[in-house]
């Protein structure tokens, strides 16, 4: 029996990377899962698609559905939760907001259009989805909302600024994730006592998903990378945490150490 048998979950950005990995682990733990992203069949240049994720999840024998939607489009994301509820046969009990837009470039000429896309994907979309699932969670007396954040929320110390121009170029992305952290904490405080847990988790080191590998993979040392399984372990721990674990901004590897967690494979089996 899986620890999440019969739970209903929605995972965003699940065509590849961390989202696809989290969705697989949730299914392996017995959850019924709806995955959502823009890419149904094939991305222009990155591997992975919702169809591939769905096919991988079906081997666990749970209900698997998908909703194709662009999270930067308010009208498109407004239909995600209702469609997920229909596919799952009941309200969403676990929401994992993984989808994100990342553009790194100098700030003095950072285009407004790109700033809008980043904040739509990284702030407004997860907050809209949280608002959409929260009433049913409150009515049920429990629910888990997990938002994926980033270490880029932390400002560089200086002057001089040790991390340099490359870290400065992450500032818009980092600012969007800092906003998500603050909204997470605020929503958790507002819902405290209802049984709804709202938390964020970020990697301590880079997780080389397909997108991250393309953006920064070539610049990283091995000690600057953590495994996909470690990141997923941190996420799943917050999909099954007690009611008093809420409003936290956590780090995957720190959470694993704090709670003495064993890291499992995406199929739920302990890693050798």
Specify whether the CB–CB gap between 155 and 178 falls below 8 A.
no
What's phi and psi for 47, nearest 5 deg?
Answer: -70, 160
Strand partners, 143: 196
Q: Are 31 and 4 in contact (CB under 8 A)?
A: yes
d(CA 36, CA 11): 6
How large is the C-alpha radius of gyration of the chain? 18
Active site residue 192: no
Query: Cα separation of 269 and 272, whole Å?
Result: 9
Q: Which of 104, 167, 177, 192 is catalytic?
A: 177
- Is residue 92 within 8 A of residue 81, CB to CB? The reply is yes
- Cis preceding linkage at 189, omega within 30: no
Kindly write down the DSSP assignment for every residue of 172-208, as one continuous string: HHHHHHHHHHHHHHHHHHHHTTTTEEEEEEE-SSEE-
Is 60 considered catalytic here? no
Q: Which of 104, 167, 173, 192 is catalytic?
A: 173
How many angstroms separate the CA atoms of 193 and 153, rounded? 28
**b/e per residue 25-49 (b: at least 16 CB within 10 A):** bbbbbbbbbbbbbbbeeebeebebb
- The 3-state secondary structure of 112-156, one letter per residue: HHHHHHHHHHHHHHHHHHHHHHHHHHHHHCCEEEEEECCHHHCCC
Active-site residue set: 173, 177
């Amino acid at each position: 029996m899986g620890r999440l048998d019969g739970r209903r979950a929605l995972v965003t950005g699940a065509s590849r990377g961390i989202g696809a990995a989290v969705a697989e682990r949730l299914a392996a733990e017995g959850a019924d899962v709806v995955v959502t992203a823009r890419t149904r069949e094939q991305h222009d240049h990155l591997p992975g698609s919702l169809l591939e994720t769905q096919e991988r999840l079906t081997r666990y024998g749970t209900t698997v559905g998908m909703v194709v939607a662009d999270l930067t489009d308010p009208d498109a994301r407004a239909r995600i939760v209702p469609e997920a509820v229909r596919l799952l046969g009941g309200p969403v009990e676990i929401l994992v907001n993984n989808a994100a837009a990342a553009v790194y470039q100098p700030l003095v000429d950072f285009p407004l259009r790109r700033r809008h896309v980043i904040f739509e994907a990284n702030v407004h979309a997860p907050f809209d989805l949280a608002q959409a699932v929260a009433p049913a969670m409150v009515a049920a007396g429990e629910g888990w909302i997990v938002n994926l954040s980033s270490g880029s929320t932390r400002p560089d110390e200086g002057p001089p600024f040790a991390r340099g121009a490359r870290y400065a170029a992450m500032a818009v992305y980092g600012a969007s994730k800092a906003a998500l952290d603050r909204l997470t904490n605020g929503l958790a405080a507002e819902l405290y006592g209802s049984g709804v847990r709202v938390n964020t988790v970020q990697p301590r080191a880079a997780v080389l998903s397909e997108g991250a590998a393309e953006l920064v993979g070539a610049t990283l040392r091995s000690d600057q990378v953590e495994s996909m399984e470690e990141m997923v372990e941190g996420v799943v721990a917050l999909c099954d945490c007690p009611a008093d674990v809420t409003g936290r901004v956590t780090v995957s590897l720190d959470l694993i150490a704090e709670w003495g967690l064993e890291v499992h494979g995406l199929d739920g089996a302990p890693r050798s």
